[in-house]
Amino acid sequence: MPDKGKTPQKDLIKRDASHMPGADEIKSFMDEAIREAYNGLEEGGIPIGSVLVRKGKIIGRGHNRRIQFGDPTAHAEIDCLRAVGRLRSFKDTVLYSTLMPCAMCAGASIQFGVPIVIAGENRTFASSRHWMEENGLTVVDLDLDECFEMLKKFADEHPSLWNEDIGVELD
């Protein structure tokens, strides 16, 4: 039991979701994440977009650029966090993504103390929602047809690109 006595990650960071935005604000920032997804699509990439919001302002935005950069870690949320750069604390931020974060992006959100994650949809991909919730994040799934259909169309047209993104090897 080498980890006995060590503080679990979920107890290291106190997450407060009292800055949960209202419905109008959520819609307008999810629209910005969707805009990022379309930017990715125009570049020939996977249409997933993300923005990070703090005190009602976007402080970083990004989209999946795995194909564009040849970088398997260039998911939308990671691209967005890289655009934000260093922050002393993520405690008053809200991360928006058109797709419920995967294990890597959920891990980054857990690690850096993001308290609220708002996802456009969670139908495409078996996600890490419960893992984030276990770690104290408040997760909202907007279940938007627009986000689902945009990604579904891409996945249907480019199955190998999509499966590579989620780490599934096709036969």
Q: Name the minimum Å distance from CB 103 to Zn ion.
A: 7
> Which residues would be at the binding site for Zn ion (CB under 5 A)?
75, 102, 104-105
Q: Name the minimum Å distance from CB 53 to Zn ion.
A: 18
Active-site residue flag, 169: no
Residues 6+ apart with CB under 8 A from 63: 36, 37, 39, 40, 45, 47, 48, 49, 50, 76, 79
Answer yes or no: are the C-beta atoms of 134 and 128 closer than 8 Å. Answer: no
Beta bridge partners of 97: 50, 119
Identify which of residues 23 and 126 has a Cβ nearer to Zn ion in the complex.
126
Identify which of residues 93 and 128 has a Cβ nearer to Zn ion in the complex.
128
Residue of 32, 43, 77, 157 with catalytic role: 77
- Encoded tokens for 63: 């989209």
Q: How far apart are CA 46 and CA 77, in angstroms?
A: 13
Q: Name the minimum Å distance from CB 105 to Zn ion.
A: 3
Identify which of residues 62 and 115 has a Cβ nearer to Zn ion in the complex.
62
**Which residues does the annotation mark as catalytic?**
77
